[in-house]
Every structure is written in structure tokens, then in C-alpha cells.
Structure 1
Amino acid sequence: MRKVTHTAPMALVVEDDAADRARAVALLEETELDVITCASGEAAVEVLQSCGDDIAMLFTGVSLAGEMNGVELARAVGKLWPTVRLVVASGSEGALRLPEDAVRMPKPWLPLDVLMQAHRAVRHPDPAVA
């Protein structure tokens, strides 16, 4: 697969619900991040394989189209692209087995919380920084 290099840092929004995806995109487009969207984890992995070095933030829901869910996607991204800030939105109160540096955001999420994570993704590329 061909590598793509992009000048601005990017956010990858992965959400199967079109309304939630559009709301996240509208917010993130107001930041320094360029935005790419996908409905499935498999499509997100393809995007990451082509331009993962340019992705600063992954914003995903737990339920996704396709075989891979958001938790599995976050684990894969945490392992293969450790500099990406992981944000997982979940409407479930149950325990999610997320990577240690992933941020769990309750659904419905607040716009300010998303904007804060975008800011941290750009200003603090090391996900270990809170």
C-alpha cells in the first residue's frame, strides 16, 4: 500500500452512526486537525496503513460497521501507531479493555471534551500526557 504524507496533523473519526460522525467532524474541522472519516475499523486500518504517521488523533465509537469494534481498533492502533491519541466514545457503563493511554468518553459526549482531546493531540503528541 502506498504511503501518503500530509502537511497538517489529522484526526481519524470512526463511527457507524452518521449523525455522530458528522457532529464529530463538524467540531474537529474547527481545530488545527484535518479530518478523515470511516464507518468501519477495517477501513480505518487501511487509512492508517497509508498515512498513519500523520494521524494525531483517533476518535471512535465502540460499535462500528464491519467485524472490528472500536475497542479492538483502539488496541490495534495503540500497538501499531503508539503516538496516536486514542479517544473511545461509549454509551455503555461496563468496563472496556482499552489501551492504558486511551481516553474513554461517555456518550453522549460533550463538544468541549472532544475539542480538549484534539488540542492535546496537537500540543502533546505523546499520548501519555493527560
Structure 2
Amino acid sequence: MGRSKPFRATAVVVEDDAIQRDMIALLLEESEFEVIQCEDAETASLAIKMRHPSFLITDVRLSGKMDGVQLARFARQQYPSMRVVVISGQAPSSALPDGVRFLSKPFYPTTLLREAAR
């Protein structure tokens, strides 16, 4: 009889810089998350609809028509209990939705993991 895999929470990482995206994904995977990587908000919004993740981390600046703040707003509207973190080297130019946290780049890995575990 096969062994079932333990439940792993799902996280969506949205970052258009592939190296940063891979580093964040690796950090979360080592913390027992199943990670979906996206380089734009449009792809991430589809992943959110289809996979119902518990955690979203997104850069503010993204390629495509939607930025990270708009994606955060979409995610919180779809799933109000989803933990959402917006990251950027600069403060976002528009207000973040209620419950969305901001981390300034560069950030410590432990800070991100603390946000993921909230």
C-alpha cells in the first residue's frame, strides 16, 4: 500500500526577476510549502483561482498589465484569509489592502518565514 504525502500548504511567488523568484521559492520549499512560481500577475491570478494557496508573496513591479498591489487586492477579495506579502525596494505608491504586509528589499529570510507562518 502506498504512503500518502503529508499536507503541504501552497504558496504563490510572483517576481519577474528569475533569480530572486527561485531564491524565495527555495526558502519556502525548505519550510514545507508547495510553491507555484509566476513571473507576472496575470499568471498568478489564474494560479490563485485554480490552486487556492494559503500564502502569496509578490513584488510590486511586475511585467504585464497588473502590478503586485493590484494582485494583492485581487487575492484578498478572492480569499480574505490568505496571507499576502508585497515586497519591493521602494514603498508602494498606493495603499495596500487590509491585512496585506509589506517587506522592503532586501529582507532577512527569517522575516519572510515569520510572515508565511502567521
- TM-score normalised by length of structure 1: 0.81
5+ unaligned residues in a row in structure 1: which ranges? 1-6, 121-130
* Shift in alpha-carbon separation, 1:37–1:94, aligned structure 2, 3 A: closer
After superposition, the C-alpha distances for 1:68-115 in whole angstroms (9 at most, x for unaligned) are: 100000011111111110000011135531111001000112111111
Counterpart position of 2:55:
57
Shift, 1:48, TM fit: 1.2
* Shift in alpha-carbon separation, 1:43–1:60, aligned structure 2, 3 A: same
Flag as ranges the 4+ runs of structure 1 deviating above 3 A. 93-96
Counterpart position of 2:22:
22
Counterpart position of 1:112:
110
Counterpart position of 1:13:
13
Structure 2 Cα separation of the partners of residues 17 and 87 of structure 1 = 17
Counterpart position of 1:68:
66
Shift, 1:32, TM fit: 2.2
Matched residue type, 1:70: G
Task: Select the structure of larger CA radius of gyration.
Answer: 2
Shift, 1:38, TM fit: 0.3
Counterpart position of 1:127:
none
Q: Does the 8 Å CA contact 1:31/1:118 hold for their aligned counterparts?
A: no
Shift, 1:8, TM fit: 2.2
Say which structure, 1 or 2, has more relative contact order (CA 8 Å, 6+ apart). Answer: 1
Structure 1 Cα separation of the partners of residues 91 and 41 of structure 2 = 22
Structure 2 Cα separation of the partners of residues 105 and 58 of structure 1 = 13
Q: Does the 8 Å CA contact 1:33/1:118 hold for their aligned counterparts?
A: no
5+ unaligned residues in a row in structure 2: which ranges? 1-6
Counterpart position of 1:45:
45
Structure 1 Cα separation of the partners of residues 93 and 66 of structure 2 = 18
Q: Does the 8 Å CA contact 2:60/2:92 hold for their aligned counterparts?
A: no
Matched residue type, 2:60: V
